[in-house]
Amino acid sequence: MRDVYLIGIGQTKITKNAGIRGRYMAAEAIGKAIDHAGIERKQLGMLITGNMTAGRLAQQQQLGALIADVAGLRGIEAATVESACSSGAAAARWGVMSVGGGYHDAVVVSGIERMTHSTLEDTTAALATAADWELEGVKGECFISLNARLMKLYMETYGVTAEDFGHFAITAHDNGLSNPIGFLHKKLDMETYLNSRMLADPVKLFDAPPVCDGAAAVILATEEVARAAQHKGLPMIKVAGSAIGTDSLALDSRRAMLELDGVAISTRRALEQAGIKNADVDIFELHDAYTIITTLSLEAAGFAEKGKGVHFGKQGEISRRGKLPISTMGGLKSRGHPVGATGVYQLVETYMQLTGTAGENQVPDPEFALVQNIGGTGATVVSHILQRCA
């Protein structure tokens, strides 16, 4: 495997009812990433697009070729990757393999999701296709109800209350206030969190992510291309680890419902590839779609003991100046969760952190970041380790 570097980033402002089709949102993000990398379109060998719902909500498939055409890349090798909410990071994984395996010297990865043009019922149904239809979907389960099951079981098993989860949402919203492209710029306190509308007991409004639209893109390349495109005064960013771990789609088929095996597997593989341990991670950009998933991810990734993840961060450990910052630009809770694009937004934000260009949201002097994107309730988990290099 050749070393792979992240050399360019692009993102659109996350919105609702923007009135612009997904292909143009993706093309905008791709154009920004190419310009940021300082390379020519002809240097790109492949476009990989992450998306989940376009076939159902926009009646449009073949996004690879479609977006390549609109983005001025007609003729390029192109395809679409779908793995539910982890589609963006899975697309990045294919990009890493393509460059690392010697097939292309530079590729562009995009993530795009447009969901707010449809009714809430249609969007909820589209998202529910990432659950096990035979075992969960036909029973009327959706991701709110499935996460409610997890949260209720955790509360009963470990004797915690709804208030114990609140600091995750509050931290995300605090960080999101200064993210210019974020969706929710809303200050949150514990009283507001606890009094927010109940979606499915015990999941409340601020335990869940907003429905929104957005697109993001990154350029991945070899060391030779990266050095030629290196921004003056900025470090190079290496993809030091890249892995996927899977589990059953259905919660009732899991080995242990409160243990995210996909998180544990992909984290272990990515850390081993990078040659580092948990203690070396300076940022954990986790998939905080629901506060219960934040809790279980901290445990499964090895940063908190089983049953204690919900308490991690109550003393400021997860703040931007804490020992393990999370949701540094607002996370899925505040930046927003345009599902197929989320994993790429995470990579864009982490690149900014490692290059010291995150502005008000900057974490002090990070070297290694674990970036994790989850599909479903933990069935597909994509982990990347990004490393700041000289």
Catalytic residue list: 85, 337
Nearest to residue 348, comparing CAs of 330, 322, 375? 330
Cβ atoms of 72 and 41 within 8 Å: the answer is: yes
Cβ atoms of 29 and 8 within 8 Å: the answer is: no
Give the tokens for residue 16: 């609702």
Q: Which residues contact 241 (CB under 8 A, 6 or more apart)?
A: 269, 270, 271, 272, 273, 274, 383, 384, 385
Cβ atoms of 309 and 301 within 8 Å: the answer is: no
Tell how strand 106-113 and strand 198-200 pair up: unpaired
Cβ atoms of 213 and 101 within 8 Å: the answer is: no
Distance from the Cα of residue 265 to its chain's centroid: 17
Element (H, E) at 6: strand 5-11
